[in-house]
Amino acid sequence: MMITSAQAYAENILAREYFLKAAFLYNFARLVEWPATTFKTETDPFRLCFIGKEPFNKALRSIRNKKVNSRPLMIQRDVNLNEASRCQILFISQSERHNIPFILTALHQTPVLTVSESAGFAEQNGHIRFFLSNDEKLRLEVNLDAITQAGLKISSRILSLAKIVSSKRAIMP
């Protein structure tokens, strides 16, 4: 199978998008404040977790071996819902979009920063949603109320880049 230059260009654009998202995830780790009770010891790692089919591929290499406030950054792929409550950041993949209400309900008011790319994520009580604007720039939607309910404090540096959204009451089918 031959890859066209258009396919290669599209793959390159997508790879750059995920490198940028990986950098954002790392900065969320640095710029969000978790409750003092989040870590049991001074040496506990900071857990960045992924649930569902993780689209980052090689992009996470750029943040591997980094530290978050002197804690080692631990990247955990393929976590299940039981493990998710032990994460500090949980990226919920598009492959889990139908399970988002269930995942967010299970994590409601726990100090786990939830992040996704799924449309309507922040309105469903998710914390931060990545999206591409009309000019193809990476943007953020932030549900400040949901973040506060989780016991987290988010830096104004993140908020200055974000569109603030509110939760809509979820309608169950």
Q: Over the stretch 78-115, which tens digit does the pLDDT of each residue have?
A: 999 999 999 999 999 999 999 999 999 999 989 999 99
The answer to whether residue 169 sits within a structural domain is: no
Phi, psi of 91 (to 5 degrees): -90, 120
The answer to whether residue 61 sits within a structural domain is: yes
Strands (E), 83-152: 89-92, 113-116, 128-132, 138-142
Q: How many domains does the chain divide into?
A: 1
Nearest alpha carbon to residue 156 among 144, 146, 170: 144
Q: What is the CATH number of the domain that holds 148?
A: 3.40.50
To the nearest whole percent, how much of the chain has pLDDT over 90?
Answer: 76
Least-confidence region, from 25-29, 55-59, 116-120, 142-146: 55-59
Supply the pLDDT for residue 170: 43
The answer to whether residue 171 sits within a structural domain is: no
Q: What's the token pair of residue 83?
A: 């493990």
Strand arrangement of the beta sheet that strand 67-68 belongs to: 67-68, 71-76, 46-51, 89-92, 113-116, 128-132, 138-142, 162-164
Nearest alpha carbon to residue 12 among 50, 62, 59: 59
Q: For residue 133, give its domain range.
A: 5-164
Nearest alpha carbon to residue 46 among 131, 112, 123, 139: 112
The answer to whether residue 54 sits within a structural domain is: yes
The answer to whether residue 170 sits within a structural domain is: no
The answer to whether residue 153 sits within a structural domain is: yes
Least-confidence region, from 22-36, 57-71, 78-92: 57-71
Instruction: Give the C-alpha separation, 129 to 92, whole Å.
Output: 10
Predicted model pTM = 0.89
The answer to whether residue 128 sits within a structural domain is: yes
The answer to whether residue 49 sits within a structural domain is: yes
Who has greater pLDDT, 5 or 167?
Answer: 167
**Residue written as tokens 């726990």?**
110
